[in-house]
Amino acid sequence: MTDEPTRPATPAQPPASGLTRREVGSWLEGPGAAGDEAGAAYRGERLGLPQAGPGAVSGFGRRLGALFIDWFGSLFVAGWIVGTSVWVDSAAAAADRSLVTLAVFGLEVAVLTWLAGASFGQRLLGLRVVRLDGSPLGLWRSVVRTALLCLAIPALIWDRDGRGLHDKAVGSVAVRAR
């Protein structure tokens, strides 16, 4: 026997907030941990989408690449509209061009998503945006989705299926076209 005092066994008490360590741990570990508990084997399974190939949820890298293509294209068009160089200009010209760039970006993404199902960058990288039933978005959904995308924050928060808040708000999903 040891001379160390023994602690009386006490039952584990839940924290005062009602959250358990497991719940907080799954939230901190990100969408993958939450997806494991829900039984989804891959992104888009809960939506009835294929795991790979055309119609599968597009990866983050492709969507980010499409965003950069659209943004830099808008930057060049805004420079042409404002009459400044994209790379060398004054701070005042850059400030003027930044709002024009956002407006050009919003117009390009909204109109092309509405008419073609994908922005210029998305089309180049083989993506398209559709409603959850596979049909085209339509005008108002394209405009609302693009307005939320321009706010940036909704696009930075996504669920375990890879859909940002801007997609969830209008019932859309970005999928692979090829």
Tens-digit pLDDT profile for residues 67-117 = 999 999 999 998 888 877 666 566 776 777 888 999 999 999 999 999 999
Q: What is the pLDDT of residues 51-65, one digit of tens each?
A: 888 988 988 899 999
Report whether pLDDT(39) > 80.
no
Instruction: With cut-offs at 50, 70 and 90, classify the pLDDT of residue 137.
Output: very high
* pLDDT (0 to 100) of residue 87: 64
pTM of the model: 0.72
- Cβ–Cβ < 8 Å for 131, 172: yes
Query: Residues with Cβ < 8 Å from 80, sequence gap 6 or more?
Result: none
Distance CA 17, CA 23 (A): 12
Mean pLDDT of the 39-55 span: 85
3-class secondary structure, 168: helix
pLDDT at 48 over 60: yes
